[in-house]
Amino acid sequence: MKIRFWGVRGSLPTPPSNAQYTDKLRNILSKAAVSDISTPVSREAFIKNLPEIERMNVGGNTACLEVRADNKLIIFDMGSGIVRLGNYLNEYEQNGKNLDIRIFLTHTHWDHIHGFPFFKPAFLPQNTLTFYSPHPNLQERLEYQQDFRFFPISLSHMASKKVFVQLEKNSEIKIGNIKIKNILQYHPGDSFGYRVTYKGKSFVYATDSEYKNLTSDFVTRHAEFIKNTDLLVFDAQYTLEEAIHKEDWGHSSAMQGVDFAILSKVKNLALFHHEPDNDDYRIHGMLKRAIEYRRANYPESKLNIFLAHEDLIINL
Ligand SMILES: [Zn+2]
Ligand SMILES: [Zn+2]
């Protein structure tokens, strides 16, 4: 199973500002000796050796993951990251034609659907798009997003074949040999987490979920859902302090992700749904604190913690 992150930002697409770009550039240049940048070869080597924070951007596109397994293409969420995925399919996969695309939605908040009207494969009649969600009236919700008052092209004018499947809450379905289970999460308007299992490996996509002031039964159910998974993609929008202040905003923190992951013997924890107000340095700072928190509170733990960033590919 291969997972690629096309959008990792929460709430709002967030291109870097000029000030953020200059800031990063200044930090990079401060590390360079003349010999590092004097030839094309030395420049490439210099770039390759930069720390991740300066070698790349975390990325400003909102939630979208691509999963490949069992010769199937499965997409989770349709934030602005799906636009680049669509362009990629057009360029590299059968010219974007005759595609059988499955799309699972956590929920229909803007940052999880607003890329869809720009998803090029949806405009081609040779393609079939099957949408899965435990939310009712998914078709109506997507039609509403593309009502002429909000968008110039209606959903029905997108020529692909569209199929809508309403999943039962907390149920499991099979697509080929892939098992996909969902769980109801605590989030305004409800959201759903997914556990994908294929050939003995699994990953859990658990974004837009809050875990505090809840009964232990709720926590136990979620801990069970992520148990022993190889990769947990976790909503880490807030710092722990913000998560306490922003009760009922529907998001959580990296520390809560660490607690959950260790409780459930997760192997890898990807911090996801990054806050649009945070620049790369602040987001990397949150990762650093999450790692320190793990070391201080769970010194025996081998949990691998990292940032989900655009174009990150994970093979399980
Ligand atoms: Zn969101
Ligand atoms: Zn949401």
- Domain containing residue 220: CATH number: 3.60.15.10
Confidence (pLDDT) at 227: 97
- Regarding whether 287 and 307 lie in a shared domain, the answer is yes
Q: What's the 125 CA to ligand 2 centre distance in angstroms?
A: 31
pLDDT tens digit sequence for 28-79: 999 999 999 999 999 999 999 999 999 999 999 999 999 999 999 999 999 9
pLDDT tens digit sequence for 134-174: 999 999 999 999 999 999 999 999 999 999 999 999 999 99
User: Which one of the ligands is nearest to 79 CA?
Assistant: 1
- Regarding whether 181 and 87 lie in a shared domain, the answer is yes
In terms of Cα–Cα distance, which of 238, 312, 310 is closest to 268? Answer: 312
Q: What's the 195 CA to ligand 2 centre distance in angstroms?
A: 18
Residues with a beta carbon under 5 angstroms from ion ligand 1: 10, 111, 208
Q: Which two tokens stand for residue 184?
A: 């109801």
- Regarding whether 120 and 34 lie in a shared domain, the answer is no
- Regarding whether 70 and 23 lie in a shared domain, the answer is no
Cα separation, 305 vs 58, in Å, equals: 15
Confidence (pLDDT) at 214: 61
Decide if pLDDT at 244 tops 90. Answer: no
Strands 231-235 and 201-206: parallel
Residues with a beta carbon under 5 angstroms from ion ligand 2: 109, 208
- Regarding whether 182 and 41 lie in a shared domain, the answer is no
Give the residue numbers spanning the domain of 164: 2-14+57-315
Q: What's the 299 CA to ligand 2 centre distance in angstroms?
A: 33
Stronger pLDDT, 165 or 254, i.e. the higher one: 165
- Regarding whether 10 and 81 lie in a shared domain, the answer is yes
- Regarding whether 40 and 185 lie in a shared domain, the answer is no
Q: Which two tokens stand for residue 207?
A: 């974004």
Q: Which two tokens stand for residue 70?
A: 């069992």
DSSP state of 112: G
pTM for the model:
0.95
Q: How far is CA 86 from CA 40, 119, 263, 309, in A?
A: 33, 5, 37, 18
- Regarding whether 164 and 39 lie in a shared domain, the answer is no
Cβ-based neighbour number of residue 121 at 10 Å: 24
Q: What's the 250 CA to ligand 2 centre distance in angstroms?
A: 7
- Regarding whether 307 and 263 lie in a shared domain, the answer is yes
Phi and psi torsions of 159, nearest 5°: -75, -5
In terms of Cα–Cα distance, which of 99, 146, 95, 93 is closest to 122? Answer: 99
Task: Output the CA torsion sign for 225, 206, 107, 312.
Answer: negative
User: Which one of the ligands is nearest to 77 CA?
Assistant: 1
- Regarding whether 141 and 22 lie in a shared domain, the answer is no
- Regarding whether 10 and 26 lie in a shared domain, the answer is no
Count of the separate structural domains present in the chain: 2
Mean pLDDT of the chain: 94
Cβ-based neighbour number of residue 68 at 10 Å: 15
- Regarding whether 198 and 264 lie in a shared domain, the answer is yes
